[in-house]
Amino acid sequence: MIPKFLLLLLPLLLFSCQETPKDVAPKNETQLIFEPAFKGLSAFLNYRQKVEQRQDLERIPSLYFTHKTGYTLKSEALLDANGEILKANLEKIDTLGRKVQYTFYFLKEVLSMVQVSKSNMRSSTLRNDVTFVFYNANQSPIASYAREVINGKQVPFKAIQSDKKTNNDIDNALQMLSQMQNQGGAFKLRFQGFDEAFNKKFVQFGNDDYSTNLAYAPNDTSVLAFEKNPKGFEQQTFSIQFQDVQEASGLQYQVLTAIQKTNATFY
**66-80, pLDDT tens digit by residue?**
999 999 999 999 999
Q: What is the pTM of this model?
A: 0.86
Q: What angle do CA 125, 128, 134 make, to 5 degrees?
A: 170
**107-125, pLDDT tens digit by residue?**
999 999 999 999 998 887 7
Amino acid identity at 49: Q
CA distances from 143 to 2, 89, 158, 162 (A): 16, 21, 11, 7
Helix (H) or strand (E) holding 211: strand 210-216
Q: What confidence tier does 234 reach under pLDDT thresholds 50, 70, 90? A: confident
pLDDT at residue 30 in the model = 59
